[in-house]
Amino acid sequence: MSRIGKAPIQVPSGVQIAISDKNVVTVKGPKGTLVQTMDPAIKVKQEDGTLTFERPTDLKHHRAMHGLYRALVANMVEGVTKGFVVEQELVGVGYRATAKGQRLDLALGFSHNIALELPAEIKVSAAQEKGKNPVIRLESADKQLLGAVAAKIRGLRKPEPYKGKGVRFVGENVRRKAGKAAGK
C-alpha cells in the first residue's frame, strides 16, 4: 500500500471541496480556486473534514496514480489556505530585475533585457538592497504553475560552476569548480 496515497488529507475550515462524477476535484479557499482532473480509477471520498483516496488494484499504474493524486490534492489544499512562495536571487555584476504588474524585466548580462509576461495566478515582486543580490519573489496558490515559472526564469541564465553567476534559488548551493592551473 502506498504510504502517501493512504494518508488522509485534513480539510481546514474555510476550504470547500467539490468532487464531480468525472473525477474532477475543485478546491476553493481564501487564496483562490484550483481544479484537478484525476484518473477515473482512483476514487476520492470526503467524510467529515477528511479526504481519502482508494485504488482498485495493486497494479503498478494504479499504485503510482494513488500517491500522485493524493499529493496533488494535498498541495491544492495547502495552496488555497497558505499559498506557496519561491524566492530567486540574481548573482552577477549588473544583473537586475524589475516587476510591474505581471511583467518581469530581467537584465542578465545579455545584449538586451528579457521581458517575461507571467500568468495572472502568480504575484511577482523584485527587491534590490544595497550590497546584496537582487531577489525575485513569486507567490501563488498553484504549486505546479509556480514551479514551472520559477524553472523558466532560472533556465534563462543557470548558475555557472566557475564564478557562480546566474539565477539561483535563495539558499541553493552551487557546486564550484577550480579554474585553470596558473602557469607551468
User: What is the chain's length?
Assistant: 184
Strands 135-140 and 166-169: unpaired
Mean pLDDT value across residues 122-140? 94
pLDDT tens per residue across span 135-173:
999 999 999 999 999 999 999 999 999 999 999 999 999
Mean pLDDT value across residues 39-43? 91
pLDDT tens per residue across span 50-96:
999 999 999 999 999 999 999 999 999 999 999 999 999 999 999 99
Torsion of CA 166, 168, 172, 173, to 10 degrees: -10
Percent of the chain with pLDDT over 70: 97
pLDDT tens per residue across span 86-96:
999 999 999 99
Contact 88, 95 (CB under 8 A): no
Q: Domains along the chain?
A: 3-81 (3.90.930.12), 84-169 (3.90.930.12)
Contact 134, 127 (CB under 8 A): yes
pTM given for the model: 0.88
Instruction: Calculate ∠ Cα 111-100-30, nearest 5°.
Output: 135
Percent of the chain with pLDDT over 90: 79
The C-alpha cell of 11 is what?
A: 480539510
Identify the residue whose cell numbers are 480539510: 11
